[in-house]
Amino acid sequence: MTRDASRPSPRLSSPTFSPLYRQIKDFLIRSLEEGEWGPGDAIPSEGELASRFNVSQGTVRKAIDEMAAENLLVRRQGKGTFVATHNDPRSFYRFLRLVPDDGKATHAVSDPFFCETVDASPEVSAALGLAPGARVVHVKRVLRFSGEPVVFDQIYLVAELFDGLTLDRLRGGERSLYSLFESDFGVRMINAEEHLRAVPADAQAAGAIGVPAGEPLLLVERTAYTYGNKAVEWRRGLYSTRQHYYRNVLG
């Protein structure tokens, strides 16, 4: 997308309150949020951005380096810098950390079986920062590895952002949910916070993933955020760890 030449360049405030590269980063994030560059799009070169903001290329490079480290942008050697997208296969395992015991990466298949717009419970309202009883889209699905059910997810989405989401749309194609949300609804998940604990399988989870009621499962509660640190999804996933483990890399 080409910038409107009639649109004045942003005026940078004094770096007294924020380092100059952080101000550039804030402007770039705002451009992403406003859709100036969409997922997968190339952004202007460092030289073009330096001219646009009237700063050095080094300042722009530092801002871009930090955004790349946060998975907002992707550098491609010899091609330029691009807006990160959930359509990139490498992004799939950024949000799904379950690994088979043999360590071999296995493609997970989403099998949604429920999708309705409902009033949010107090727990869901609090997690998403919504007013009590606000409308949310409730999705239930099973995640299968090599055909075997391993994860039972209950997902809650801010309804106003996902108007028109149906079970048929969730079942269409091989895209991940986050890829679907990004391409069909313009909602990109930027980061997430997870809470983990062990719980016994209740009847619903036991039936969904084929384990005895009471069997220990890993409960993963995730709040996912889009630009502006806005919570847009809360999910409660129950993971069978009979043949899988949760993998996280620190540092």
* Dist. CA 13–CA 18, nearest whole Å: 9
- 39: its two tokens: 């997922």
Q: Does the structure show a pLDDT above 60 at 6? A: no
Catalogue all structural domains in the chain, each as residue range(s) with its CATH number.
Answer: 20-83 (1.10.10.10), 89-246 (3.40.1410.10)
The mean-pLDDT minimum among 130-139, 153-162, 177-186 falls in 177-186
For 127-142, the pLDDT digits (tens) are 999 999 999 999 999 9
pLDDT at 5: 43
For 9-67, the pLDDT digits (tens) are 555 544 456 789 899 999 999 998 888 998 889 999 999 999 999 999 999 999 999 98
CB 142 within 8 A of CB 149: yes
Residue 236 makes CB contacts below 8 A (sequence gap 6+) with: 153, 154, 219, 220, 221
* Dist. CA 236–CA 191, nearest whole Å: 16
Q: What is the pTM of this model?
A: 0.82
Other beta carbons within 10 Å of 199: 11
Q: What CA–CA distances, in Å, run from 103 to 98, 148, 243, 246, 247?
A: 10, 16, 10, 11, 10
Q: Does the structure show a pLDDT above 80 at 183? A: yes
Q: What CA–CA distances, in Å, run from 224 to 52, 152, 238?
A: 32, 17, 17
3-state secondary structure of 189: coil
Tokens 């016994």 -> residue: 200
pLDDT at 149: 96
Q: Does the structure show a pLDDT above 90 at 93? A: no
